[in-house]
Amino acid sequence: MSPQEDNRVPPGTGATTPPTRRQARQSDRKDEVRTEKAAETADGALPPPAAAAPEPETASQTLLQRIMTGNALVAFLSVVLSLILGGLLIAVTDPAVGRASSYFFTRPQDTLGAAWSAASNAYIALFQGSVINVRGTSFTSVIYPLTQTLTVATPLICAGLGVALAFRAGLFNIGAQGQILIGATFAAWVGFTLHLPAGLHLLLVVLAGMVGGAIWAGLVGLLKARTGAHEVILTIMFNYIATNLVLYFLSTSAFQRPGSTNPISPQLDGTAVYPLLLGPAFRLHWGFVVAVVATVFVWWLLNRSTIGFELRAVGANASAARTAGISVSKGYILAMAIAGALAGLAGVAQVSGTEKVLTSGVAASFGFDAITVALLGRSSPWGTFAAGILFGAFRAGGVTMQASTGTSIDIVLVVQSLIVLFIAAPPLVRALFRLPVPGAVGKGSTTPRTPASTGAAA
């Protein structure tokens, strides 16, 4: 953690230069590197420079572009590799495998068979809990897991967008957890205290959630802009403060359910909750549509608006941005506030969508998962959206897996973090699978990739 963090490559910036130019630049001031980079890539919205076009890993930011370039293979192999490692872990710890391994040298096929069934059963349960239940008797029960995935993905996408947006402004926002909690608190209060007509009430709930998250995160932005305090530390501390604050609120008469001694709020009014999207058979609610809208909005904001340009400029190189007349302080505060508002939407999705009450555990661990979601999505809006759905599937399926095969849901965390790690280091995956190094002809070497492009890859 350093004051030089502004010079650190932000996760969203893609570099596109061959090593020779890059190395030459390394000796120059970092600022210049950043300026060029920012100008060159502009989030991959611009086509890559003609000279760099033959390199398949150039400027691949969005998921779609990644698939069209060679990186899709690396992403796919990363997922496969992580699933294999996770499967090994499940197999090794399985009691049946342990029993069979005691006579491994007389009948090795027993051990291997037990290992295979342990891992495959867990993954089949994971799949059936997250995509399609093949044993379902009706259409509803067959596609139910898929809607569960989307329901779980909703807060992940919203909060992930917030983290991604802050990344793009050069801020490492670890505080989505606290922002979700405060957003949920604001939303829930409006939801059960005010009694308003349908429509207006929900609108106010959503707004309150966004305002709550925006205030909580904006405070971090303000402190960073004014005092230079590090946002990683600030957001982590604000998470703890938010948890305790919500616990305190839930012990006051304004928030605590009348007659209850537990830290739980009253139910939100029927007018304050998201309507169900696909009817009462599914839990999927309109919050998912809001998440889609939020994704479009963030894409527009980052790539098509002046504010977005300024935020990206601040993230790419704060000094250059300041020289160009952009207020870095304003950028920090604004980026955090918008990020908080998005996390607040995740809080609304929880209190107004699935939980319908406020508890201190309403944010689950969505705020922390959102960080990996944004990293996997390479801080691009649609990448984050896709990553949110993938992790939503893991989470929804993990619950089914834990229930049916007894495999702990923690394995999902292992697989998720391995995926992010592998995707961040394509040379490792290529080396493991003996893949040819892309652009080897052009680069003429197998040196590690640039910090910028690998940073972007995470």
- Between 354 and 416, whose beta carbon lies closer to other proteins? 416
- Between 147 and 372, whose beta carbon lies closer to other proteins? 372
User: Of 452, 457, 455, 449, which Cα lies nearest the Cα of 19?
Assistant: 449
Q: How far apart are CA 74 and CA 70, in angstroms?
A: 7
Work out how close the CB of 309 gets to other proteins at its nearest, in angstroms, rounded to a whole number: 19
- Between 308 and 455, whose beta carbon lies closer to other proteins? 455
Specify the stretch interacting with other proteins by CB under 8 A; choose among 63-71, 277-285, 317-325, 342-350.
Answer: 317-325
Contact call for residue 312 and other proteins (CB under 8 A): no
Specify the stretch interacting with other proteins by CB under 8 A; choose among 8-16, 46-54, 268-276, 384-392.
Answer: 8-16
Distances (CA, A) of 210 to 295, 351, 441: 15, 13, 50
Residue 428, both tokens: 């490792």
Alpha helices, H only, 324-458: 328-348, 366-376, 381-405, 410-424, 426-432, 440-443, 451-457
Work out how close the CB of 355 gets to other proteins at its nearest, in angstroms, rounded to a whole number: 21
Specify the stretch interacting with other proteins by CB under 8 A; choose among 38-46, 99-107, 382-390, 449-457.
Answer: 449-457
Contact call for residue 408 and other proteins (CB under 8 A): yes
- Between 53 and 88, whose beta carbon lies closer to other proteins? 88
Work out how close the CB of 291 gets to other proteins at its nearest, in angstroms, rounded to a whole number: 22
Q: How many distinct helices (H) and strands (E) make up the chain?
A: 20, 0
Residue 355, both tokens: 């939980």
Name the β-bridge partners of 168: none
The secondary structure of the chain in percent helix, strand, coil, rounded to multiples of 5, reads 70, 0, 30
- Between 65 and 235, whose beta carbon lies closer to other proteins? 235
Taking residue 396's Cβ as centre, other Cβ atoms within 10 Å add up to: 24
Near other proteins by CB under 8 A: residue from 328, 335, 348, 390: 328
Is-contact 284 151, C-beta < 8 A? yes
- Considering only residues 82-111, where is the footprint of other proteins by CB under 8 A? 89-90, 93-95
Contact call for residue 15 and other proteins (CB under 8 A): no
- Between 180 and 457, whose beta carbon lies closer to other proteins? 457
Contact call for residue 169 and other proteins (CB under 8 A): no
Q: How far apart are CA 163 and CA 373, in angstroms?
A: 9
- Between 317 and 354, whose beta carbon lies closer to other proteins? 317
Interface with other proteins (CB under 8 A), residue total 80
Q: How far apart are CA 332 and CA 5, in angstroms?
A: 13
Output DSSP code: residue 41: H
Q: How far is CA 324 from the centre of its chain?
A: 31
Is-contact 275 282, C-beta < 8 A? no
Output DSSP code: residue 70: T
- Between 77 and 225, whose beta carbon lies closer to other proteins? 225
- Considering only residues 329-368, where is the footprint of other proteins by CB under 8 A? 329, 332, 368
- Between 244 and 305, whose beta carbon lies closer to other proteins? 244
- Considering only residues 219-278, where is the footprint of other proteins by CB under 8 A? 223-230, 232-234, 236-238, 240-241, 244-245, 247-248, 251
Residue type, 27: S
Collapsed DSSP state (helix, strand, coil) of residue 276: strand
Near other proteins by CB under 8 A: residue from 397, 407, 438, 439: 407
Q: How far is CA 367 from the centre of its chain?
A: 8
Contact call for residue 454 and other proteins (CB under 8 A): yes
- Considering only residues 25-84, where is the footprint of other proteins by CB under 8 A? 26-27, 30
Alpha helices, H only, 131-265: 139-168, 176-193, 200-227, 231-249
Near other proteins by CB under 8 A: residue from 425, 435, 437, 443: 425
- Considering only residues 383-402, where is the footprint of other proteins by CB under 8 A? none
- Considering only residues 174-193, where is the footprint of other proteins by CB under 8 A? 174
